[in-house]
Amino acid sequence: MQTVTLDSSLEGVDQGEALILDAARRLGFDEDALHEIGVSVRESLVNAVAHGNRFNAKKKVHLMLSEEPDKLCIEIADEGAGFDADAVPDPLGEGNLLRQSGRGLLMIRAFMDEVSVTRREPSGTLVRMVKLRRPAA
Amino acid sequence: MSLKLSIRQVGDVTVIDAAGRMTLGEGSSDFRDKIKELTASGNKRILLNLGEVNYIDSSGIGELVSSFTSVSTAGGALKLLNLTKRVQDLLQITKLYTVFEVFDDETSAIRSF
């Protein structure tokens, strides 16, 4: 397991996305999977930086990466007040399609094979996601 | 690569050719400003060509939706042209294909306004 600490900034988001994509390339994920992993990691990092840590320079984002032959496991944790994923209005719900925000988790769940969102103690949110590497057809 | 926007006029339709990434901090707010500028100057028939846009995040999707709403509220229309497979997939995931009119042929798109 590799752990990296990132600043609560868009530069931190770029750094984290690049690191994960390098690892995914090493594991042999194809271009479509790389795109899905990149979008998911970026969405999660933006949530951590913007909504969790609220761009507070004193707070950090912790990115954990575990490479296995058949999958990539990613954990992203912030130091914010915590986040209740069930409280986010369903972006596909009646009357919500034209909302400007609230689609990040929907996209992550569509692109990754496993996703969980939990509260950290004493504070913060932990997002864990897994992408399976499928053999070439 | 951040988002690049080029504007051209075809009859009474304003075509925006977009290229690059449409993400938080990489041009999605430039897009919003451009739409505001166009509608304020009376250009309310807008065709957005996304043929060179391969990456949109939820912030970029939010800007598309927000612009669609503001142009519609002003009495105009914002339509989409030349979606890449990845952007098409995003519109499917978010069900926004039910909101936007999408074309893969510019002539047909221009005629539809």
**CB of A43 closer than 8 Å to CB of A102:** no
Residues of A with Cβ-Cβ distance to B63 under 8 angstroms: 100
B24 Cβ under 8 Å from any chain A Cβ: yes
If you compute the radius of gyration of chain A from its CA atoms, what whole number of angstroms results?
Answer: 15
CB pairs under 8 A between A and B: 54
**CB of B27 closer than 8 Å to CB of B55:** no
Tokens 């479509």 found at: A32
d(CA B9, CA B111): 14
Query: Residue A54's domain is classified under what CATH number?
Result: 3.30.565.10
Q: What ipTM was reported for this prediction?
A: 0.86
Q: Is residue A15 part of a domain?
A: yes
Separation in Å, CA of B59 to nearest CA in chain A: 7
Q: Is the pLDDT of residue B26 over 70?
A: no
What's the full length of chain B, in residues?
113
Q: Is residue A137 part of a domain?
A: no
In this structure, the strands spanning B45-56 and B77-81 are parallel
B91 Cβ under 8 Å from any chain A Cβ: no
Could you tell me the residue ranges of all domains in chain B?
4-111
* Mean pLDDT of the A58-75 span: 94
Structure tokens at A59: 């707070």
Give residue A137's pLDDT: 57
Separation in Å, CA of A122 to nearest CA in chain B: 29
Give residue A53's pLDDT: 95
What beta strand segments (E) does B1-113 contain?
4-10, 13-22, 45-56, 77-81, 102-103
**CB of A52 closer than 8 Å to CB of A83:** yes
Give residue B101's pLDDT: 97
The overall average pLDDT reported for chain B is 93
Q: Is residue A127 part of a domain?
A: yes
Superfamily of domain B4-111: STAS domain (3.30.750.24)
The structure's pTM equals 0.90
Residues of A with Cβ-Cβ distance to B25 under 8 angstroms: 10
Give the residue from A7, A31, A103 with the most B CB atoms within 10 Å of its CB, the best one to mutate. Answer: A103
B93 and A42: CB-CB below 8 Å?
no
Residue among A16, A8, A85 at smallest CA distance from A50: A8
Q: Is the pLDDT of residue B28 over 70?
A: no
State which residues form the domain around A66.
2-132
Total domain count for chain A?
1
A104 membership: H or E segment, kind and range? helix A104-111
